Structure formats: structure tokens, C-alpha cells
Amino acid sequence: MERVAPHGAFVRPMRAEDVLAVVSIESEAFSTPWQAETFTGLLGRDGIELLVLEDPAEGVVGYAVLWCVLDQGELANIAVTPALRGRGLGARLLEAVLDAARGRGVRSLYLEVRESNVAARALYASSGFSEMGRRRRYYRRPVEDALVLRLVLPAP
């Protein structure tokens, strides 16, 4: 399941040897980052897609975590290393997540995003996600509301 992204980067399943790079990106992207043990514990679990975006020159530069239960999915985490943002890599990674969700029969895909994260909200809107709710004071450091977004995927 290798998909080529802009600039020669490609999306593939996460492996154990990717976890340290993923944790580094996670720590740069989120104020309450997941730990290595979390990612390691998710490897190989049913209903979970762990994807990385790998650049031939840079190594792992992004990742995504997708939970799938029956016909519903949640994009739990997605991030690209800050130095490479704004180059279409996040969009390619999100496209791979959507492909994986469709492949698992997901019909409704959900996610939470910080209200202030304008770039992420624009990316999700460009992929067809729409706001369906709000979780008050969901995020810490700083405290902020999360917008709940949903994308309805067509039946296969």
C-alpha cells in the first residue's frame, strides 16, 4: 500500500522502527503528545490504520492514525513535520487516510480539530468535511474548544 505523494514522498503502513520519528513529529505538532508506548501498542491492532509519510531524503515526515469500527471511523491524529507544511504533503496523507477508510467500509469519518487551527480546518473542508458539533474546553495547553467534523463517504 505505497502511494506516492508530492516531492517523491510516499505513504505506507507504520512499522515499529518508525515510532521514534512519529513521536518526534507528534511532539512538535501537539501540546499534549502521545508517547511512544501508545503508538507501539497500536501497531498490528484490528481496526486501526497507522500510516506514515516517508520522504526518500528526509525519512518519515508525517503520520496518521485512523480508528475503524464497523462503518464509522475516527481520524485520531494526523501531522506533518512543521518544516515541510504547506507543500501538499498533509493533503496527500489525508487522501491516503480516506482511501484506507473506504477500504475498510467506513461510511462516516469523524475528527476533532482546534477551533484556532485554520490551516487544518481548510484542509479538512477541501476534502469535504463539515462541522457537526463542538466539544467545549476539549483541548488543554491552551484550553480551547474542539470542532467536531464529519465526512460521509459514498458506499462502495
Which are the catalytic amino acids?
112, 124
Per DSSP, the chain holds a count of helices (H) and strands (E) of 4, 8
The amino acid occupying position 119 is: A
Do the beta carbons of residue 10 and residue 53 sit within 8 Å?
A: yes
CA-based nearest residue to 91, from 124, 49, 116: 124
**Alpha-carbon gap, residue 103 to 80, rounded angstroms:** 23
Q: Taking the chain, what is the end-to-end CA distance rounded to the nearest angstrom?
A: 19
Do the beta carbons of residue 53 and residue 63 sit within 8 Å?
A: yes
**Alpha-carbon gap, residue 13 to 153, rounded angstroms:** 22
For the chain, how are helix, strand and coil distributed in percent, rounded to 5? 35, 40, 30
